[in-house]
Structure 1
Amino acid sequence: MHASPFLSLPGAVAVEGIDEGVAGHYGNPIVEQRRLERGEAIVDLSTRGIVAVAGPDRLSWLHSMASQSFAGLRPGDSAEALFLDASGHIEHVVHAVDDGETTWLVCERADAAPLSAFLDRMRFMLRVEVADRGDEFAVIAAMSTAALDAAAPAASPSGVALDWVDPWSERIPGTHRYAADAGHPASEWRAIERIVPRSSLAEAADAVRSGRIGVAGSLALEALRVAAWRPRLATEVDEKSLPHELDWLQSAVDLGKGCYKGQETVAKVLNLGRPPRRLVLLHLDGSDTVLPETGDEVIGEKVRPEPVEGQAPERRVVGRITSSAMHHELGPIALAVVKRAVPGDLPLIVESHETDVAAAQVEIVPADARAAVDVPRLPRLGARP
């Protein structure tokens, strides 16, 4: 793992966990959130993985395997795509930008090697080349292009700037969103991930040191992501995750294309079924200053029709915390994946650090999310009218 020049900036505090290797904050995560949100700061994401796919068959090849359409991807265009297993479970997530000769895929650090190996196995006789380019290139992020321009120019090995613009804030034709449009916070999330030569990280750190641009840690970016209901592979996804459960159909799945692994499940759950689990935002009681950790259990209390005096309500595990953050406006918040049957208005409890933390849920994927197609029930054989 490369040592980041950003860790030498004044006040830098290294983060642990999935983003280890970059600064979690530089002394004041709340102030950093505000600067980042206003487009006045950059974030070091230099530990993210970068996989490059070159060759004349690259777009049609990726199109045949991914949930997203790559067929019409033009130089400079951005896309988000999932690679699913045969049962529709999420295996890989990529942020893709094409430069006319190569498609660049930004992914989680831990997923770079598995993703490269998977793609390499699928090449067969096609004219494509897969390479892990994380040693040569790195990622910085911001909420505005101006902030990135003040730090370092984007890599452009083929003359096209490698800026990935997150599609989460847009309603893309051919996609589906379970969450209601009214009040959806996606419009506040304007993330841009810029691929730069790894040697340019020192230049970007110098821009911060000289005051040309502000800096924010990974904790600030995570807080804004959680508040925007934006899922991430390293946190929200487990071995059972379907795109529907995380409302990921809205940015990473083109429902007009088929013939990719897992497509049957995507269509079946959307058209005929309901997501077996669902993503929620939790507003947490901050009186105990306890911020839950990924994996902490979410508890629901079963309400008895006739309560028995002196008998406590039955507690049941209904989900788990995937991400948590201290937001500069919302206070302590978290994303959690809960069972579909959990009522949307049920107060919840998070068990964390041997403390019960009260939680009020905001539905992202609604508890009553219905099938897109109303299938009439057929009469039983032999039944009489």
Structure 2
Amino acid sequence: MPGPGDLQSADTAWHYGDPLGEQRAAYGGGEQRAAYGGGEERAGRSGVIIVDRSDRAVIEIAGAERLTWLHTITSQHIAALPDRSSAENLSLDANGRVEEHFVLTDIDGVTWIDTEGSRGDPLLGFLTKMVFWAKAEPAARPDMKVVTLIGPGALDGPVADLLEIGADTDVYQAGGLPETHHEDEPLGFWRRMPSFGEDRDLPVVDLIVPEYLLTRWWDALTEAGARMAGSWAYEALRVAARRPRLGADTDERTIPHEVDWIGGPDELGAVHLDKGCYRGQETVARVHNLGKSPRRLVLLHLDGSSDERPVPGDPVTAGGRTVGRLGTIVDHHEWGPIALALVKRNVGTDVELTVGAETAVSARIDPDSILEDDRIQAGRAAVERLRGGSAVPGHQS
């Protein structure tokens, strides 16, 4: 099986000896079933894996104006984000291209941000530069680490009971870890994230904990029934759900519409369309109201007959012509090698594709990964009315 390539940090495990079994354990398969000893029904409800993601960069923002200030310089609507809530957010360049993607959680008067490890310093530099006179104090927190739970057992069962997480917990809801509260800030918290898996039915819960408590929580959660899994399992379940990752599934030309990052927290997006005054807003509004993004994110199924694999950034070609860019590629426990890719919008699901530069592999687009947008765009409809035409098919003015 292929190695992790650029997907894997040297500080975290790619797998613990059974990478495909680790993925199945999130559904309650393999050793997970035996651990509970309660048959298929019990295991299916309580499967959960734990993944070390301590290579994520964590930033703390204190100050009374932290949310209103962050609201003005980023793409998400967070000025009135409730306490113990989370959101995904972007920083765009002047042309609306994605520079940073991060998750933020506001809890007990502090906003916590985490992002790709390689983007921590650039993001902190941008935030620090933009403070001016605002009452906001961004600071690096390398002592805070991220751990992720995946599977139904993250919301129901011994692991959820240990964390005091209810089965009805909403996506982006957050809470302090039990018995770790401090008078100034929580010494760790959990938050629910959008679900993973091919049917997007596997709950995902992140834990952000101080490094000195990491081993304690890891041991407690595995003793409660969570199975250790490497980043391979995390990436496979993420890719199956078509959840993009900054840097792996984006490039320097990516705009939010291409990777389905449009929408507020209630839409699981990172760009709210009912706010303005942030860098790159003009491109977002123009694409939303007048056009379509030039590329779109798709799930690819790859020929698995070769042990060699392409790598993120390799070209996607059709008939010898480059039509896209390969993103994350990983072996899935049921589907074999799968990948995310940004391809030109006019490439259909019936087109025969080849991916890879040095290693050429045939691929096909999963038709279920295509999200068609057939709405009549407000700006386009207005243009058609001014021209004396109609934006509604079959209607004559």
**TM-score if structure 1 supplies the norm length?**
0.80
8 Å CA contact 2:93, 2:280 repeated in 1: yes
Question: In the alignment, which of 59, 63, 76 is matched to residue 55 of structure 1?
Answer: 63
**Equivalent residue of 2:347, what SS?**
coil
- Most deviating of 219-228 and 70-79: 70-79
Aligned to 2:213: 200
Aligned to 2:316: 298
8 Å CA contact 1:42, 1:148 repeated in 2: no
Deviation at 1:117, TM superposition (A): 0.6
Aligned to 1:4: none
Report the AA paired with residue 244 of structure 2: P
1:23 aligns with 2:31: no
Deviation at 1:114, TM superposition (A): 0.6
8 Å CA contact 1:189, 1:225 repeated in 2: no
Taking the TM superposition and a 5 Å limit, the aligned residue runs for 1:316-327 are 316-327=321-332
Question: In the alignment, which of 84, 90, 95 is matched to residue 92 of structure 2?
Answer: 84
Aligned to 1:34: 24
Aligned to 1:181: none
8 Å CA contact 2:187, 2:210 repeated in 1: no
Deviation at 1:86, TM superposition (A): 1.3
Aligned to 1:72: 80
Aligned to 1:122: 130
Partners of 2:59 and 2:194 in 1: how far apart? 20
**Equivalent residue of 1:79, what SS?**
strand
Report the AA paired with residue 249 of structure 2: E
Partners of 1:70 and 1:102 in 2: how far apart? 13
Same amino acid, percent of matched pairs? 40
Taking the TM superposition and a 5 Å limit, the aligned residue runs for 1:349-364 are 349-351=354-356, 353-362=358-367, 364=369
Aligned to 1:112: 120
Partners of 2:237 and 2:332 in 1: how far apart? 7
- CA gap of 1:98–1:142, structure 2 versus 1, over 3 A, is same
Aligned to 1:342: 347
Taking the TM superposition and a 5 Å limit, the aligned residue runs for 1:135-150 are 136-143=143-150, 144-145=154-155, 147=159
Report the AA paired with residue 257 of structure 1: K
When the two chains are superposed, the root-mean-square deviation of aligned CA atoms in Å is: 2.7
Deviation at 1:45, TM superposition (A): 0.4
Aligned to 1:242: 255
Deviation at 1:252, TM superposition (A): 0.9
**Equivalent residue of 1:191, what SS?**
strand
Deviation at 1:186, TM superposition (A): 6.0
Deviation at 1:200, TM superposition (A): 1.6
Aligned to 1:10: none
Aligned to 1:226: 239
Report the AA paired with residue 191 of structure 1: V
Ranges in structure 2 where 5+ consecutive residues have no aligned partner: 29-46, 165-176, 264-268, 389-397
Taking the TM superposition and a 5 Å limit, the aligned residue runs for 1:310-321 are 315-321=320-326
Question: In the alignment, which of 95, 103, 115 is matched to residue 111 of structure 2?
Answer: 103
8 Å CA contact 1:236, 1:323 repeated in 2: yes
8 Å CA contact 2:309, 2:359 repeated in 1: no
**Equivalent residue of 1:236, what SS?**
coil
**TM-score if structure 2 supplies the norm length?**
0.78
**Equivalent residue of 1:51, what SS?**
strand
Partners of 1:36 and 1:17 in 2: how far apart? 24
Deviation at 1:289, TM superposition (A): 3.9
Aligned to 2:391: none
Deviation at 1:357, TM superposition (A): 2.4
Partners of 1:201 and 1:107 in 2: how far apart? 18
Deviation at 1:161, TM superposition (A): 5.7
Partners of 2:219 and 2:241 in 1: how far apart? 30
8 Å CA contact 1:283, 1:334 repeated in 2: yes
Question: In the alignment, which of 198, 201, 226 is matched to residue 213 of structure 1?
Answer: 226
Cα deviation code 1:74-107 (max 9, x no counterpart): 2211111111111111111111111131100011
Question: In the alignment, which of 274, 291, 302 is matched to residue 284 of structure 1?
Answer: 302
**Equivalent residue of 2:78, what SS?**
coil
- CA gap of 1:289–1:348, structure 2 versus 1, over 3 A, is same
Partners of 2:198 and 2:377 in 1: how far apart? 24
Deviation at 1:50, TM superposition (A): 0.3
